Structure 1
Amino acid sequence: MEQLQQIFKDQPYHTDNFFLIAGPCVIEDEALLMQVAERVSAICKRLEIPYVFKASYRKANRTSVHSFTGIGDVEGLELLQKIGKTFNLPVTTDIHSAAEAAMAAAYVDVLQIPAFLCRQTDILMAAAETGKLVNVKKGQFLSGEGMKFAVEKIRQAGNNNIWLTERGTTFGYQDLVVDYRNIPIMKAHGVPVVMDCTHSLQQPNQSSGVTGGNPQMIGTIAKAAIATGADGLFIETHPIPSQAKSDGANVLQLDLLEPLLEELVALRRAVKR
């Protein structure tokens, strides 16, 4: 609770609520970031949901060499910093190497470690040494129990500000499944746990070189996560998913976010009772 109060100190929120990490998958341009941040922050203020704005300044893990990766590292990070200052929000982005940790930490409040990199000791230690909150996504190949080692590495570097994120487990070659046992299991490591409601619906390894998805199930994933005790939700959103330059097949259309959050707030308070 202490680290949540620290990161959300500038936001009034209902203590029974979950927190939300949301934004477009990748930084496409300033107008998109401003549109999403303004809309989502207004919704979260009304519903008293603590909010972290998320966008990747660079996508280093695209399937195809032809896929969009970003507008430039410094340009993207400067836009994230601008969003944080404009809307008085904490912001987060993912890093893909140890060398990126200090650079990104100068602009954002939370460093996100991608699922495929959650065992990379040098990345975890570099992120920890910045002193920023570190959000580690559980690898699609790992159990919730196995994530205790990522937590140990970050704590060993002197940083106790840690979140873990569940984002599904590989099922065959082109699908993921969510094992909700991982939420209480990872909470037992003594850290807040987030459910990634959009990436857990990916359908990777498509022959087209573009990842597919099942966005119609985002609400189901989110509701089940709240029911099983998730502290936070991660939901990528875009005004026009079909035009998104990354993960358009599994993001939530921006207009659908508010009614979903209203349902989730009601469910959370029922569960807390």
Structure 2
Amino acid sequence: MEQLKELFKDQQYNPDNFFLIAGPCVIEDEELLNTVADRVSRICKRLEIPYIFKASYRKANRTSIHSFTGIGDVEGLDLLQKIGQDFNLPVTSDIHSAAEAAMAAAYVDVLQIPAFLCRQTDILIAAAETGKVVNVKKGQFLSGEGMKFAVEKIRQAGNNNILLTERGTTFGYQDLIVDYRNIPIMKAHGAPVVMDCTHSLQQPNQAGGVTGGNPQLIGTIAKAAIATGADGLFIETHPVPAKAKSDGANVLQLDLLEPLLEQLVAIRKVVAKQQ
């Protein structure tokens, strides 16, 4: 996992531990980013968990036209880059078109491809050509086997720095399920696999225009992912989820993150002994 060693070169990289991608869903203001980055980086340093800070500079896939989408692309990316510099962390955000790849790559270390765009060849190639690590979220409509084609597109563009993220599969109109077979299946494609513990608990397409969720099950999803061999975890977190401007119904309250990570580190140690 050479791409991970490079990403975490400024941290106490523990290859025997899982890594964490975490932060608020969307960039709301600088105070929020600092609060979350400071708290999570301190926890991860203590637990020797390699950490990537995440926040979206823009949310393009909102249910309602009235939903908050961001503070502005450049303004958001500037703040995200500043967090990376101030806390000495790699940072990531999602992009939504091929044209955004080069722009975002000037500010972030990892380009995230949203699940609903994981088959878009032009976006995958544009992201690959930046030379950045590309994290592709598995579409809710795809199997783990189907993600090999996304991997092939990125590699054919000359980039081997790939992460794959499981985030659940559509089950009816307003729910998702997690098929943990996808973790070993996607690892067989030769890329580290991440479990998105928050978006996999979304309940989309609500009549009120705001996506619901089951945040009380985040720990369950995370523990099962570590037990089944996930290399990393993706957890969106917010100090006050009820006040979050995006995905407040399924993010983890920041105060609950540390005890959960302690449990997950313990599970990881047990799993590592069996390998």
TM over 0.5: yes
Q: Which residue of the partner structure matches residue 77 of structure 1?
A: 77
- Provide the aligned length of Structure 1 versus Structure 2: 273
1:126-161 superposed Cα distances (whole Å, 9 cap, x missing partner): 000000000000000000000000000000000000
Q: What residue is the counterpart of 1:169 in the other structure? A: 169
Match of 1:196 in 2: 196
Matched, 1:135 2:135: yes
1:255 and 2:243 equivalent? no
Stretches of structure 2 that go unaligned for 5 or more consecutive residues are none
Displacement of 1:119 in angstroms is 0.2
**Corresponding residue SS for 2:164:** strand
Partner deviation per Cα, 1:212-255 (whole Å, 9 max, x = no partner):
00000000000000000000000000000000000000000000
Q: Check conservation: 2:5, 2:13, Cα contact below 8 A.
A: no
CA distance in 1, matches of 2:12, 2:149: 34
Residue correspondence of structure 1 range 1-273 to structure 2 within 5 A: 1-273=1-273
Shift of 1:16: 1.2
- The answer to whether the Cα contact below 8 Å between 1:13 and 1:45 also exists between their aligned partners in 2 is no
The CA deviation at 1:195 is: 0.1
AA of the residue aligned to 1:200 = S
Q: CA RMSD in A?
A: 0.4
Q: 1-side partners of 2:112 and 2:13: how far apart?
A: 23
8 Å Cα contact 1:20-1:233 kept in structure 2: yes
* Whole-angstrom distance in 1 between the partners of 2:49 and 2:200: 22
SS at match of 1:234: strand
Give the whole-Å Cα distance in 2 for the aligned partners of 1:271 and 1:117. 33
Structure 1 ranges of 4+ moved more than 4 A: none
Partners of 1:189 and 1:16 in 2: CA distance: 20
* CA distance, structure 2, for counterparts of residue 104 and residue 150 of structure 1: 20
Cα distance between partner residues in 2 of 1:30 and 1:85: 14
- Post-superposition Cα deviations, 1:34-74, rounded to whole Å, max 9, x if no partner, equal 00000000000000000000000000000000000000000
Displacement of 1:167 after TM fit?
0.1
Cα pair 2:81 2:108 within 8 Å, conserved: yes
Q: Aligned partners of 2:134, 2:14: CA distance in 1, in Å?
A: 23
The code of the aligned residue for 2:19 comes to F
- Say which SS state the counterpart of residue 164 (structure 1) adopts: strand
Q: Which amino acid in the other structure matches residue 80 of structure 1?
A: L
2-structure distance, mates of 1:213, 1:50: 27
Amino acid at match of 2:107: Y
Shift of 1:3: 1.2
SS at match of 2:20: strand
Cα distance between partner residues in 2 of 1:167 and 1:151:
17
- Secondary structure at 2:85's aligned position in 1? helix
Shift of 1:15: 2.4
Residues 164-185 of structure 1, C-alpha deviations (whole Å, 9 max, x = no match): 0000000000000000000000
Measure, in 1, the Cα distance between the counterparts of 2:250 and 2:184.
25
